[in-house]
Amino acid sequence: MPKIIEQFRVLIYSGDFDAQIPHTGTEEWTRGLGYNESASWHPWYVGVEGASSVAGYAVEYDVPTEFTFLTVKAAGHMVPTFKPAEALAMVTRFVRGEPY
């Protein structure tokens, strides 16, 4: 995984209600890769200015490309099924290189 992370932008995400692959295990795995954090655990939002809500939480790591782990609040294993607006915002930001 480190070779991929150091050559390509990577987004790892989990629904925080996922009983099959709990987000805590995924978070432990991403932290265990040993990269320093460039942006510590922080909320990310969806919605329009003045009416946005917390979509989940993210941590970004200091790598040559981009490596982010984030959660999607109240989503299960199939994030787009449970939270389609948040999933679209997450993927759109990743493709555009926008911050969480």
Q: What is the mean pLDDT of the chain?
A: 94
Question: What CATH number has the domain bearing residue 13?
Answer: 3.40.50.12670
pLDDT at 49: 66
User: Residue 50, SS3?
Assistant: coil
pLDDT in tens, 41-50: 999 999 866 6
| Cα distances (angstroms) measured from residue 51 to each of 45, 46, 48, 54, 57 | 10, 9, 5, 10, 18
Q: Tell me, what amino acid is at 94?
A: F
Per the listing, tokens 């009416």 go with 51
**Number of domains forming the structure of the chain:** 1
CB 71 within 8 A of CB 87: no
Q: For residue 26, is pLDDT > 90? A: yes
Range of the domain at 49: 2-96
